[in-house]
Amino acid sequence: MKKVVLAYSGGLDTSVAVAWLQEQFGANVVTLTVDVGGGSMRDGVERRAMSAGASRAYVVDARERFATDFVWPHLQANALYQGAYPLATALARPLIAQLLVEVARREGADAVAHGCTGKGNDQVRFDVAVHALDPGLEVVAPMRVGMGLSREQSIDYAEARGIEIPITKSSPYSIDVNLWGRSIETGVLEDPWTAPPADVFQWTVDPSAAPAPVEVVIAFEGGVPVAIDGERLDAVDLIDRLHALAGAHGVGRIDHVEDRLVGIKSREIYEAPAAVVLHTAHRALEGLTLTKDTLRFNRLVADELARLTYDGLWFSALHRDLRGYIASSQRVVSGEVRIRLDHGTAVLVGRRSPLSLYDKDLATYDEGDAFDHAAAVGFIEIFGLPLRVEAARHGAVGKHHGAAWAWTEPLLESLPTTVADPATAPA
Ligand code: ARG
């Protein structure tokens, strides 16, 4: 390894890694810091990289691209890993991996490096993505190959080499942040029975301390949010605006025991105020504008896309093709959604769309009902035909345990029942 591009957060671990890579491998170290929003950028990263011995420090503002090319397609897909996690950390990895590869090419580097441990998902995401884009690049993870230092050891290591130490106070948690979410794990959170202490949360107030509920109207075009309360905003500003508003109302806390790719269950707390509101709103608008069949199929795609992203398979053909399907399915997902932010919950209270499939004249039970009630009889006749034939030939099946495969056990006999007639009815 002659020259290595290191994904550099500017924190203590990756600062130490700059010097460590040089000392272990005699490598020229170039750092790459990617701003993916959410306050992930630390001040003075270039200076710190230099103090640790980097030959060059790249800093890339990728916030808008992260939002439009990575976050939006997953919002459009309603993609939540295991139905819960909006994938913030997982979504940023392929973007950072791609930038690592591009900087490596520009710099003529033969390796890239990242600060992940050998136990998590992120190492897999980086390694797999980098090798999909450039199989010739070596990927080094100092934490995986011997750099594992305690916080105290890292501080000593840095001080002995004049590496500038970031002035963040040590956190009892392991935290990853970008504009779509904040991921918090380890420490007392490792006991899934322990309620998350207040110091876990930075983006959301305690729901019970939230102010009086407010309503917000989100406008979508083609499945992408474009305006809040009538004000058009670009992707980053829109997310930031909702983040502040929903967070102030305690919305966006997620407590998830998830299945990591490496086979272990881990307990993770997420703060994702904007993601929670936008997912709620987007699903509501799909319910109004997409057919029953499309909705059903989209749920399968959502699950599959979430899994592929979680598992680091962004640069696979299946991932690309599912994104293509989703983009196409979203053409009609335009309109507005009203959400009430109420003490920790994003409550859906209204939706409307010029492309709505909802037809009041068909749905109403009041005056003006256009639905043909008499036609329902013929419909049910045909719809129920296979079931009637089956029940006639095989018996109606109401129970699938026990010896009898036809439903024979009487229900009425086993339930407390009273029968009144004119002679016995209470007055
Ligand atoms: N479990 C999440 C994921 O794999 C987040 C991991 C982020 N790291 C952290 N230090 N919390 O996507």
Give the pLDDT score at 400. Answer: 58
pLDDT at 138 over 60: yes
Dump pLDDT digits (tens) for 29-47. Answer: 999 999 999 988 888 999 9
Question: Would you state the structure tokens that stand for residue 168, as one six-digit string?
Answer: 């963040």
Instruction: Residue 102: name the closest of 93, 116, 112, 92 by CA.
Output: 112
Lowest mean pLDDT among 121-130, 278-287, 392-401: 392-401
Lowest mean pLDDT among 204-213, 321-330, 388-397: 388-397
Cα(229) to centroid of ligand 1, in Å? 33
Give the pLDDT score at 43. Answer: 85
Give the pLDDT score at 426. Answer: 76
Task: Indicate which residues carry an active-site annotation.
Answer: 13, 93, 122, 174
Pocket test for ligand 1, best of 185, 190, 255 (most atoms within 8 A of CB): 185
Cα(198) to centroid of ligand 1, in Å? 19
Cα(287) to centroid of ligand 1, in Å? 31
In this prediction, residues 106-135 reach a mean pLDDT of 97
Pocket test for ligand 1, best of 128, 171, 183, 271 (most atoms within 8 A of CB): 183
Give the pLDDT score at 6. Answer: 98
* R_g (Cα) of the chain, nearest Å: 28
> For ligand 1, which residues put their CB under 6 angstroms from it?
89-90, 121, 174-176, 183-185, 268
Please give the model's pTM, rounded to 2 decimal places. 0.94
Q: Which residues contact 338 (CB under 8 A, 6 or more apart)?
A: 215, 216, 217, 348, 349, 350, 351
Please give the Cα distance from 319 to 305 (Å, whole number).
Answer: 6
Give the pLDDT score at 162. Answer: 92
Instruction: Residue 310: name the closest of 118, 68, 91 by CA.
Output: 91
Dump pLDDT digits (tens) for 402-423. Answer: 555 555 667 888 899 999 999 8
* 122 Cα nearest atom in ligand 1: 4
| Helices 373-383, 385-394: crossing angle, 10 deg rounding | 40
Task: State the sign of the Cα–Cα–Cα–Cα dihedral 285, 286, 291, 292.
Answer: negative
Q: What is the residue whose two structure tokens read 């011997």?
A: 146
Give the pLDDT score at 407. Answer: 58
